Structure 1
Amino acid sequence: MLFLPPSSNRPQAADLRNSSTVTEFVLVGFEQSSPSTRALLFTLFLALYSLAMAMNGLILFITWTDPRLNSPMYFFLGHLSFLDICFITTTIPQMLIHLVTKNHTVSFASCMTQMYLVFLVGVAECILLAFMAYDRYVAICHPLNYAQIMSHQVCARLVLTSWIFGMVNGVFLEYMSFRNPFCKDNHIENFFCEAPIVIALSCGDPQFSMKLIFVDAIVVLLSPMVLIVTSYARILASILSRASSSGRGKTFSTCASHLTVVVFFYTSAMFSYMNPRSTHGPDKDKPFSLLYTIITPMCNPMIYSFRNKEMKGAMGRALGRANLA
């Protein structure tokens, strides 16, 4: 019997790590739907995308140009709208093109770029939502020191921190997603390059990458969630102990708006990145992907901003200046 030395398997393993036969991916998306269904979806998603861009663009414009909206809350709101614009632009235009064309292929580099941008913006938004909860905590529980604690310099540093954390974390997640070669099926059962689905297509054992992304999701999603829950628990205790009934209603309205945004965004992100792949499938992945890529960015302005009297007044002033012009 002939025994081969253990080292004889090493060249093959090295070739597996260093070679990839996949040069492009196919985004299946809604390819299997009928032409009439795709036309209906194109009309629907185009309307939602246009609405989301218009509303977030309006909020971005008025929060950065209206001198009456110079508080930290509106400063953060403007940056949240900017992140939402980046988020939906990263995924939805490509999906709209694929709904009306037969070619659903994307290059390897395009898939990597899209995934990195989704990571960057998504992580930055998670961190920013936590900072927004902290801002509400300081405003309600420490009103006398609010201007000193949440100065313009501090707010700018917090926003910069969310962007830097998103960039650095995006590099790590990108590396873990593409560390193995791709020599299997190149069909992605979604309308954009989502990390768990792409990793499942790689050669070798993808479990190591999936476990590290799961751990990263715990840090990125649950750590800000702890700050958000802690902030609102203290806010609730504060307003129940000292606020009048009218003050409670106003405070509850503001806090409920923010918590609604948090629940929408975090629920869909947790399902996509913190569930075992065995529980996933095209019918489950697509709805949640749509929720955090287009529905949440569209609902954020309505939930968080358009219910605010100061925002409505600023919009009226902006529209009045436009009519005069």
Structure 2
Amino acid sequence: MSPTRREFLGTLGGLAAGYALAPALRAAEASGKPLGLALCGLGNYSNGELSPALLETKNVKLVAVITGTREKGVKLAKLHGFDEANIYSYEQWDKVAANKAIDIVYVVTPPGVHRQNVIDAFGAGKHVICEKPMAISAAECDTMIAAGKKAGKRLAIGYRLHFDPYHQELIRLAKTQEFGPFMKIKSANGYTLRRNSWRIEKKLAGGGALTDMGVYSIQGVCMAADANPISVTAKELPKTQPELFIEVEQALEFRLEFANGAVADVWSGYDANRAELFAEAAKGWFKGERPVFSYRNLNISTSAKGKLDFGIFRQQQRHMDGVAQAFRNGTEVTCTGEVGRRDMVIIDGIYESIRTGKKVELKYS
């Protein structure tokens, strides 16, 4: 998920012109055949997780790439068996639009350019999956959602945990209230970052550990509460590497409050290796320990079932297959652009609370 700086700069030159939607595209979507997907951005996440998952998917297949480094595209073309003519630069959205084999563009570039990439993809007449966080502000999310509606195309966020059975169990417990409502929730997510990276450049990342790792805790907390928080109080923690974290926070803490009285205390940081999610109700609990938010081998238990074991699978395969099936069949997904926007409203509120030192009421409309 980390393209080179050259890829990022190339992205800025992308055009958002409204290209005509080929009628054959709608027919392909209705046929029941696998949809064609183009990866936009060929960093570590695309190559290390999405590409292997796309070798296993049934409802979607990799048919093209959009990249600033052609050599990366050539490798994927050979691996996935698509024509090297389907390797595009960030300036070639007109050619993306003309390629009827592409139904979906999966945007996997830094958050600072998600907005432009998504608008370009909608302009090319394609559905879009956008990697998390959706953007760097709720205002940018509004623009992206509006572009999708104008194009008549669907938008989903790369929230793989919505398709993960461990987190689906949390959602089930929250909705059925088998243990009662979860009233006390705690979460932490972060790792030790000691080198320079685009992730600590505000223009590219939008923020620090919060936008990279804290967004997982926000998702987990909202799953456990089965609701959106109504307010947030936050503080930035002292930096142990101020020479590295010049533009963004290294670590922070925040408390989310919910309308039913539930509270969630969350830590997110780049100065410790942590991954935790604990939700307590009157009659039971859900506990996730490191690596609760990771790609595989999750360590999750409940008071009723003990340690959960759902076998071996790829979250990314389940996510992309599920989203593609929904796009093809016109059915709903939970990882919508509106949910991505909700998380950005919360993130905006966290940063506002840090700036003002006050509790911030969260407004979603």
When normalised by structure 1's length, the TM-score is 0.25
Higher relative contact order (CA 8 A, sep 6+): 1
Q: Tell me which protein shows more helix as a share of its residues.
A: 1
Q: Tell me which protein shows more strand as a share of its residues.
A: 2
Task: Work out which of the two has the higher radius of gyration on C-alpha atoms and give 1 or 2.
Answer: 1
